[in-house]
């Protein structure tokens, strides 16, 4: 039984906290800390309402995750075994610093990016490798779905299906409908920065840059739909090609509807997606921050969400028998089912559940080892077993090429 701090109180944090409540054999006490404590209080109230049988104790606190001394005081006062960072990616380094100072383990779901530059990469966090290892602490990076489960899927391919992976395609389809004219399924600021940036994919040892949403193809997502999908750059590509050097090409694909793209094009055209601050009524504000304030909060979409998500990894290469092989590993999740269980939409669910699972495996000692790690560096088998147990069943499809060259 272990005490943990969850930093953040958005849709993903709500799912992770509720899954901790379900898993009270591992999690004995959870403190949810965020800048706006009323959001954390709402999550705890829902846990008491929907999971009254849970033996896990919950409390809340206010904290500024940009402030290392404030984080250190919070951690020292509560004395958890680990911190689950579900705040903004801008705050990864301050939270890692606080964990080092207080001697607790660390997990997040998205890699660091500076607030004033639309750029994200692992270099900042990988630089903490020696610091965490020397203190006997573990930092697990990107343990959501993508990144996170997609890296476990890649490791599963490598362990159980392939001598060599040559071509890797990560695919992410949200075939759902929330009934809004325009909304994002996770933090609008992070989501829009990601989509409007240039795309990138890895090929023959080099990164190939594309214009935003330049490359597209129709992809069949099993048991869901055939959807037009676009190449984006996504952070797990950086670590996967580092840890699986036989890969010749790696790409990340995501679906977007025509209405979503039209709205995004208009917002970008009038400057509303810019991260460059402007002066407005005597204050400096980035337009994207104002846009975030007027868009629906991702957690508010859950009640009326219909449809499914389908996220998976297709690998091509040389199978264990020495013959050419293609294999697809994936999960399908229903938005309405997620709402019935934890009052969340599917995108929050598919990120929040792996965060709980990663924390559980660390706390149980299954994955615990000093240093800074990406999910694909760890044994995928216990992760898959927990996915099947905790609401994200894994499916496999052999011999069918869903993503074309």
DSSP characters over 134-196? HTT-EEEE--BTTTBHHHHHHHHHHHHTEEEEEEEEEEEEEEEE-S-SS--SS-HHHHHHHHH
- Residue 304, pLDDT score: 87
Is residue 307 within 8 A of residue 335, CB to CB? The reply is yes
- Residue 263, pLDDT score: 78
Q: What residues contact 309, with CB distance under 8 A and at least 6 apart?
A: 172, 173, 174, 175, 176, 224, 331, 332, 333, 335, 346, 347, 350
Q: What is the mean pLDDT of each run of 10 residues along the chain (405 residues)?
A: 94 97 98 97 98 98 98 98 96 98 97 77 96 98 97 98 98 90 72 83 97 95 96 96 98 89 79 83 83 80 90 98 98 97 96 98 97 98 98 97 94
Phi, psi of 61 (to 5 degrees): -155, 160
Is-above-0.85 flag for pTM? yes
User: What is the C-alpha separation between 372 and 363, in angstroms, rounded?
Assistant: 16
- Residue 271, pLDDT score: 84
CATH class of the region 149-341: alpha beta
- Residue 186, pLDDT score: 66
User: What is the C-alpha separation between 7 and 32, in angstroms, rounded?
Assistant: 6
Q: Which residue has the tokens 């999690």?
A: 27
- Residue 362, pLDDT score: 98
SS3 219: strand
Which run of H or of E encompasses 47?
A: helix 37-50
- Residue 259, pLDDT score: 79
**What residue spans define the domains of the chain?**
149-341
- Residue 193, pLDDT score: 76
- Residue 270, pLDDT score: 83
Alpha-carbon Rg for the chain, nearest whole angstrom, is 20
């Amino acid at each position: 039984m272990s005490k943990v701090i969850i930093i953040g109180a958005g849709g993903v944090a709500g799912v992770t906290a509720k899954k901790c409540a379900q898993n009270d054999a591992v999690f004995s006490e959870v403190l949810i800390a965020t800048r706006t404590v009323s959001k954390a209080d709402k999550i705890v109230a829902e846990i008491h309402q929907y999971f009254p049988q849970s033996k896990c104790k919950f409390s809340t606190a206010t904290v500024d995750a940009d402030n290392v001394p404030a984080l250190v005081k919070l951690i020292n006062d509560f004395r958890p075994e680990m911190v689950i960072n579900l705040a903004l990616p801008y705050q990864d380094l301050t939270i890692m610093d606080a964990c080092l100072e207080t001697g607790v383990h660390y997990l997040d779901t998205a890699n660091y990016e500076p607030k004033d530059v639309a750029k994200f990469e692992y270099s900042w966090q990988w630089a903490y490798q020696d610091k965490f290892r020397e203190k006997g602490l573990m930092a697990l990076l990107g343990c959501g779905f993508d990144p996170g489960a997609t890296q476990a899927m890649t490791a599963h391919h490598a362990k159980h299906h392939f001598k060599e992976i040559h071509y890797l395609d990560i695919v992410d389809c949200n075939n759902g409908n929330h009934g809004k004219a325009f909304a994002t399924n996770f933090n609008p600021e992070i989501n829009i920065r990601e989509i409007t940036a240039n795309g990138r994919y890895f090929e023959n040892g080099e990164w190939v840059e594309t214009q935003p949403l330049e490359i597209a193809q129709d992809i069949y997502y099993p048991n869901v739909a055939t959807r037009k999908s676009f190449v984006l750059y996504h952070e797990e590509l950086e670590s996967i090609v580092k840890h699986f050097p036989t890969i010749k090409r790696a790409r990340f694909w995501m679906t977007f509807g025509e209405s979503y793209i039209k709205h995004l094009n208009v917002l970008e055209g009038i400057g509303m997606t810019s991260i460059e601050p402007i002066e407005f009524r005597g204050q400096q504000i980035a337009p994207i921050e104002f846009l975030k304030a007027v868009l629906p909060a991702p957690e508010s979409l859950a009640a009326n969400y219909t449809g499914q998500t389908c996220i998976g990894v297709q690998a091509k290469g040389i199978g264990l028998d020495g013959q050419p092989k293609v294999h697809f590993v994936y999960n399908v999740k229903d938005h309405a089912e997620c709402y019935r269980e934890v009052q969340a939409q599917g995108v929050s669910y598919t990120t929040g559940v792996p965060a709980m699972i990663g924390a559980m495996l660390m706390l149980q000692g299954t994955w615990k080892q000093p240093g800074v790690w990406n999910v694909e560096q760890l044994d995928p088998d216990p992760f898959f077993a927990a996915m099947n147990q905790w609401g994200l069943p894994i499916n496999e499809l052999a011999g069918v090429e869903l993503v074309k060259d």
